[in-house]
Amino acid sequence: MPIRQLDIQGVRNLAPLDITPSPLVNFIYGDNGSGKTSVLEAIHLLAAGKSFRSTQVRQVLSHERDRCEIRLRFQRDDETPERELYHLRLKNGDHLFRLDESLLSAQSQVAALLPVQVIEPNTFRLLSGTPEDRRQFLDWGVFHVEPAFIEEWRMFRQTLKQRNSALKQDQGDWLDVWNSGFIESAARIDQFRKAYLTLLVAEFRKTLASLDDSLDVNLNYYPGWDRESDLASVLERQKDRDIQLGFTQSGPHRAELRITVNRVPAAEVLSRGQQKTVVSALKLAQGIVFKQQTGTAPIYLVDDLASELDARHRLALCQVLEDLKCQVFITSIEKNQLMDGWAPADFKVFHVEHGQLQEETLA
């Protein structure tokens, strides 16, 4: 699903740019602060509606402008026509998304059209971060391979909100009303997640072995309640405590992907370098499963790769990306850190200096 044309205006210190990237590998290099990461950030802002560098989206906008605009043309495959995605975001928070000439009403519609995976320094917190971080990682995959998931998740969130409201107001008689829909929706979400994880685990093991065959890491799914009991029994058992706390303790909103080595959290026993390798394998495995299930590959944004992995693991990761035949935007400070030892079949090189991006002519 390559981006054919990319137009960015008003993003951080980047000068307006309009480029035609390679459908496969795009090397972007430049000094720290030059703007190379901002190119990746702009793509992610369009695809996900948020930055991977900052929790405040307004910080992505240039200080000199009151808006940013991101426009790209993409093509699912050679058999389908090009489409145009456009995103306008103002400093006051207003924004819109447009596909060709039609406005899109939800960020999820854009995400479905432009699946993007990010590998960058903060990504490696997946192991040491919160259960929510790992739950979001899992649900990215479920969302992209199971069309019914997003609507089911919205229904569940609404039911959870209503149940929590009844708990806060100590309306115990209303809990039976909300419990039925809550339990039914929870069961479907749980089923979606389990089915996806079966696919992910198989590819993760193969991918991790290709990056580092000395690592033995397990993925286990916790549904958000005691596995030995059905959810209805758990809710009944926790009813008084839920009322006391004012919120629902158990359910899919408390699910987690547990990543362990010999039953110990991987973050507690693996070195920082090993953790980076494991997270890279997780991200790559998601892309492989996505391609298996949809027939097309996601776009990978890989930021500052050279500082995150040593040369051996870096080359192994790049080889997996090349085998996946996906479009990649990959940054580093020095060109040789990107290109030494790796010569993909189709690539372009871009240099960023003081916010100006220029494509380099290849000899």
Which domain covers residue 249, as residue numbers? 122-297
Residue 35 known to bind ligand: yes
Element housing 352 (H / E): strand 347-353
Residue 172 known to bind ligand: no
The answer to whether residues 105 and 145 belong to one domain is no
Pick 308 or 48 by higher pLDDT: 48
The answer to whether residues 235 and 329 belong to one domain is no
The answer to whether the beta carbons of residues 304 and 264 sit under 8 Å apart is: no
pLDDT on residue 136: 93
The answer to whether residues 266 and 355 belong to one domain is no
pLDDT on residue 115: 94
Domain C-terminal end among 270, 297, 324: 297
The answer to whether residues 255 and 340 belong to one domain is no
The answer to whether residues 293 and 145 belong to one domain is yes
Q: Residue 299 above 80 pLDDT? A: yes
Confidence tier at 86 by pLDDT (50, 70, 90): very high
Q: Residue 118 above 90 pLDDT? A: yes
Residue with tokens 């402008």, as numbered in its chain: 65
The answer to whether residues 68 and 49 belong to one domain is yes
Total domains, the chain: 2
Least confident of 10-14, 31-35, 46-50, 336-340: 336-340
The answer to whether residues 211 and 276 belong to one domain is yes
* Three-state DSSP class for residue 40: helix
Residue 37 known to bind ligand: yes
Least confident of 158-162, 177-181, 279-283: 177-181
The answer to whether residues 170 and 303 belong to one domain is no
Distance, in Å, from the CA atom of 158 to the CA atom of 328, rounded to the nearest integer, reads 37
Domain C-terminal end among 281, 297, 313: 297
The answer to whether residues 293 and 303 belong to one domain is no
Q: Residue 158 above 90 pLDDT? A: yes
pLDDT tens digits, residue range 304-328?
A: 876 667 778 888 888 888 889 999 9
pLDDT on residue 178: 84
Residue 34 known to bind ligand: yes
Residue 220 known to bind ligand: no
Domain C-terminal end among 297, 320, 338: 297
Report the chain's mean pLDDT, rounded to a whole number.
Answer: 89
The answer to whether the beta carbons of residues 39 and 352 sit under 8 Å apart is: yes
pLDDT tens digits, residue range 7-16?
A: 999 888 899 9
The answer to whether the beta carbons of residues 47 and 24 sit under 8 Å apart is: no
pLDDT on residue 341: 65
CATH number at residue 215: 1.20.1050.90
For the chain, helix (H) and strand (E) counts, in that order, are 12, 15
- C-alpha distance from residue 201 to each of 5, 113, 221, 323, 338 (Å): 35, 25, 11, 19, 29
Residue 32 known to bind ligand: yes
CATH number at residue 319: 3.40.50.300
Averaged pLDDT, 355-359: 91
Residue 226 known to bind ligand: no
pLDDT tens digits, residue range 199-223?
A: 999 999 999 999 999 999 999 999 9
Q: Give me the sign of the Cα torsion angle 306, 311, 317, 322.
A: positive
Residue 341 known to bind ligand: no
The answer to whether residues 152 and 261 belong to one domain is yes
The answer to whether residues 319 and 287 belong to one domain is no
Averaged pLDDT, 75-89: 84
By percentage, how much of the chain surpasses pLDDT 90? 57
pLDDT on residue 202: 95
The answer to whether residues 247 and 152 belong to one domain is yes
The answer to whether the beta carbons of residues 83 and 71 sit under 8 Å apart is: no
Pick 262 or 93 by higher pLDDT: 262
pLDDT tens digits, residue range 135-156?
A: 999 999 999 999 999 999 999 9
Q: Residue 189 above 80 pLDDT? A: yes
